Amino acid sequence: MEQKESPIALGTENVGKLLMQYAIPAIIAMTASSLYNITDSVFIGHGVGALAISGLALTFPLMNLAAAFGSLVGVGAATLMSVRLGQKDYDTANKILGNVFILNIILGLSYTVVVLSFLDPILYFFGASPATLPYAHQYMEVILLGNVVTHMYLGLNALLRSTGRPQKAMYATLCSVLINVVLNPLFIFVFKWGIQGSAFATVISQTVMLVWQINIFSDKSSFIYLKKGTFRLQRKIVVDSLSIGLAPFLMNAASCVIVVIINQGLIHHGGDLAVGAYGIVNRVVFLFVMISMGFNQGMQPIAGYNFGAGQYDRVTEVLKKTVLMATCVMTLGFGIGELFPHAVASVFTTDKKLIDLAADGLRIILIFFPIVGFQMVTSNFFQSIGMAGKAIFLSMTRQLLFLLPCLLILPQVFGVEGVWYSMPTADLASSIVSAIMIISQYRKFKQMAIA
Amino acid sequence: MSMMNDKFVISIGRQLGSGGHLIGEKLASQMGIALYDKELIQIASKESGLGKQFFEKVDEKASHSFIGGLLGLRTNIGNEIYVNNYLCNETFFKIQSDVIRKLSDERSCVFVGRCADYILRDNPRCVNIFITADKEDRVKRVARDLQLSDEKAAEKIEKMDKKRAEYYNFYSNKVWGVAGSYHLCVNSSVLGIDETVTFIRGFIDKKLGLPEHR
C-alpha cells in the first residue's frame, strides 16, 4: 500500500526513468514548502520593512524547533503506520491515527504555552534587539497561537502519505501555499496588519487544509479514519512512536542550534540588518537545497533496493545520475546568485543597505555550491544503502565538526564576514570528507561487482 | 476454498533453549508437514531479490530502540517528507510476513518464531503455541548445542530473550511469552520433549477437529 512500485521494477526498470518518477513528487512538495517561506519573506520585506525581515529571521530557530517537535511524533507515527498497513492491521492503524491526533494536540499546545511564556527572553537570546524584537514577537505570537493547527496539519499530511494517499498530501501542500500567497498581500497591503498579517495568512491557510484533511480522515468507508474510541493514548503507541522520532528530533534540534549561533554572530558583528540579510540568503539557498533534496529522496528507494539485490552497477548508475542532477540544480543557484545577487536580494526588499548586505552574503555562501550537491547526495546515499552510521557521520561533520568551530572562531578574526565565510568553509571541508568516503565505497562496489 | 479449509498452520514461539525448535521439528515430521525457521530467510531473500545477509542482520530484531532509531536515520533535516528508507527493518519484516502468508496459503506448515501468530491472526486454522522450560534445562541445552560454558549460555539466553521480546512486542502488538498472547503455553521440562510433543499434538487435533491420531 505504501509502495508505489513493486520492488522488482526497482531492480529492472531504466534507472533514469525511475529516478524521475520517484523524485518529481518529492521535488514538488519540497519546492512548495520552500515557496511558502519565500512568499512570506517577500511580502513582509515589501509590505512591512527591512527590519521586519530581520525580525522574521530571528524566528527561524523557533520555527525549526516546532518542526522538530512535529517530527518527534510524525516520523514514528508514519513508521508504525506503514508496519500496520503492511499487515492489513487496520484496527491498530486506526488507534495509531487517533493517538497521533491527540499527541499532536498535546505537544502543539505545550510548545505554545512554554514558548509564549518566555517569548521575549528567548528572542533576545536568539539575537533580537529592541528594534527587531517587536516584529519577531508579533509574528511569533500569532504563529504560536496557531501552533496546534500547524502541528496537526503537518502530522496528518505525513499520515496521508503513509496511508497511501501521497497525491492528496501533495494537494494539501500546494493548496496551502496558494491560499498563503493570496492572503499575504490581502492582509499586509489591504488590511495593513503588518508582520502579523503574514502570520495570520500562514495559520489560516493551514487551518483550511486541516479541515479538509480531517474531512478525508472522517470518511468511514475508508480503512483508516478518525474513529471513536481510538483517541485514548496507549502507552505502547506513544512510547514506540516517540522513541523512533527521537533521533530525527535531535537532528532537527541540532540544526536549530546552528541557526541560533549564526544569528547571534551576525547581530554581534554586523547588527540587525545582517540578520535580515541572512534571512533573505537563507530563503534563496533553501530553495535550491530543497530541490536537490527532492532528487535525493527519489534516489533512496532505487539505491536501497539495488544495493540489497547486489546490483552494484545500478547502484553506481543511480548515484552518478543523482549527483549530476543535484549538481546542476546547485550550479544553477550558484550562477544566478553570483551573477545577479542584487536582483535576487531585491525580490525581498527595497532597502538599499539590506540589498547590499544580502547580495554580499549570497555571493560568499554560494562559493562552493557546485560541489555541495555532491556532498548532500553522498550523505543521503549512505543512508539509503543502510550505512546510516556513515550518513550520520557525514551530516554531523558538516554541522558540528566544521561549521560550529568555524562559527565560533572565524567571526572573532574577520567579524561579520567570518560568519558568512564559515558556511562555504564547512561546505568545502565536508565535501572533501564525503569525496574520500564515497571513493573508497565506489572501489568496494567495483570489487564486489567483479566478484 | 474448500481446499483451504483442510490446511492448517502451527506457530511456535519459544524461549531460547526451551526445545521449541525441536518440538516444532517433531510435530512437523509426525504430521508430515513442512517446518520453517531459518529457512524463511532464504525464501524471503529469493522472493524479493534482496541479499540473504540483510535478512540475517535484522532477523528477529526490533528497530525502535533509541540507538537503532538514530542509526536508522529515517528522516532528513527539513522533515516535510517521510523518507522511505528501503533497507530498513520494517521492509524486511513486511517481505518476510508476505512469505509467511504465502506459504501458509499453499500448504500446512509449522513456523518457528518471527511473529507468525500475529501475521496469521486472521487465519482461523492457525494454532499458536509458546514453549518455555526450566532455567537449568535451558542453560544445559544451549551450552550443549552452541558449545558454551554454563555462564556464557545463561548470558546468551538472557540476551536472546530480550531481543525476541522486543521484536515480538514491537511488531505484534502483543506481549512475548505471556499466556494471553497464545492458545497454549507449555513448559517442556515438565513432561520432557517427546511427551510434550504428544500433548501438544492432542491439543492441535482437538482445536482443528483433525481425526485423533492413534
ipTM computed for the complex: 0.83
The alpha-carbon gap from A310 to the nearest alpha carbon of chain B, in Å, equals 7
- DSSP symbols for A351-400: -HHHHHHHHHHHHHHTTTHHHHHHHHHHHHHHHHTT-HHHHHHHHHIIII
Confidence band of A198 (pLDDT split at 50, 70, 90) = very high
Q: Which of A7, A290, A383 sits opposite B78 (nearest CB)?
A: A290
Q: Which tens digit of pLDDT belongs to each residue from B127-168?
A: 999 999 999 999 999 999 999 999 999 999 999 999 999 999
**pLDDT at A1 exceeding the cut of 50:** no
pLDDT at residue B79 in the model:
37
Q: What pLDDT digit, counting tens, does each position of B99-108 carry? A: 999 999 999 9
Residue B46 distance to chain A (closest CA, Å)? 10
Instruction: Please enumerate in sequence order all residues whose Cβ is within 8 A of that of A3, keeping only pairs 6 or more positions apart, or say none.
Output: B84
Contact between A290 and B86 using a beta-carbon 8 Å cutoff: no
Of B48, B54, B93, the CB nearest to A83: B93
User: Residue B73 is nearest to which of A3, A245, A392, comparing CB atoms?
Assistant: A392
A246/B66 CB distance under 8 A: yes
Determine, for residues B84 and A2 on separate chains, whether the beta-carbon distance falls below 8 Å.
yes
What's the mean pLDDT in A187-207? 96
Average pLDDT for residues A136-159, to the nearest whole number? 94
Say yes or no: B61 contacts chain A, CB-CB below 8 A. no
Would you place residue A351 in the very low, low, confident or very high pLDDT band (cuts 50, 70, 90)? very high
pLDDT per position as a tens digit, A203-221: 999 999 999 999 999 999 8
Q: What is the pLDDT of residues A11-59, one digit of tens each?
A: 899 999 999 998 998 899 889 889 989 999 999 999 999 999 999 999 9
Note the pLDDT of residue A4. Answer: 41
Q: Are A337 and A344 in contact (CB under 8 A)?
A: yes
For chain B, the residue count is: 214
Tell me if B81 and A161 make a contact (CB, 8 A cut-off). Answer: yes
Rounded to an integer, the average pLDDT of A104-110 is 95
pLDDT, average across residues A356-380: 95
- Do A380 and B169 make contact, defined as CB atoms within 8 angstroms? no
**Overall average pLDDT of the A308-321 stretch:** 93
Q: B118 and A391 in contact by Cβ < 8 A? A: no
Q: Which of B70, B169, B173 is nearest residue A247 as measured by Cβ atoms?
A: B70
B54 touches chain A (CB under 8 A): yes
The reported pTM is 0.88
Instruction: Identify all chain A residues contacting B64, using CB atoms and an 8 Å cutoff.
Output: 76, 240, 243-244
pLDDT single digits (tens) A238-262:
998 888 888 778 888 888 999 999 9
Is the C-alpha dihedral spanning A314, A302, A389, A65 positive or negative? positive
Q: What is the pLDDT of residue A353?
A: 97
Phi, psi of B122 (to 5 degrees): -90, 0
Instruction: Assign 3-class secondary structure to chain B.
Output: CHHHHHCCEEEEEECCCCCHHHHHHHHHHHHCCEEECCHHHHHHHHHHCCCHHHHHHHCCCCCCCHHHHHHHCCCCCCCCCCCCCCCCHHHHHHHHHHHHHHHHHHCCEEEECCCHHHHCCCCCCEEEEEEECCHHHHHHHHHHHHCCCHHHHHHHHHHHHHHHHHHHHHHHCCCCCCHHHCCEEEEHHHHCHHHHHHHHHHHHHHHHCCCCCC
pLDDT at residue A176, as a whole number: 94
Q: Which positions in chain B touch A92 (Cβ < 8 Å)?
A: 173
Residue A93 confidence class, pLDDT cut points 50, 70, 90: very high
pLDDT surpasses 90 at B180: yes
Contacts of A442 (CB under 8 A, 6+ apart): A316
Residues of chain B numbered 153-212 and touching chain A (CB < 8 Å): 169-171, 173
A279 neighbors A263 (Cβ within 8 angstroms) = no
Predicted confidence at residue A7, as pLDDT, reads: 58
Cell 478525508, located at residue: A216
Report the pLDDT value the prediction gives residue A244, as an integer from 0 to 100. 82
- Alpha-carbon distance of B74 to A76, in angstroms, equals 9
Best residue of A71, A295, A314 to probe chain B, by most B CBs closer than 10 Å: A71
Q: Which of A83, A86, A309 sits opposite B51 (nearest CB)?
A: A309
Contacts of A8 in chain B (CB under 8 A): 49
- Name the residue of chain B whose CA is nearest to A294's CA: B81
Residues of chain A in contact with residue B93, where contact means CB-CB under 8 angstroms, are 83, 86
DSSP 3-state of A231: coil
Cα dihedral B98/B101/B105/B110 (nearest 10) = 130
Task: Please report the pLDDT score of residue A278 as a whole number.
Answer: 97
Residue B71 confidence (pLDDT) above 50? no
CB contact under 8 A, A79 and B50: no
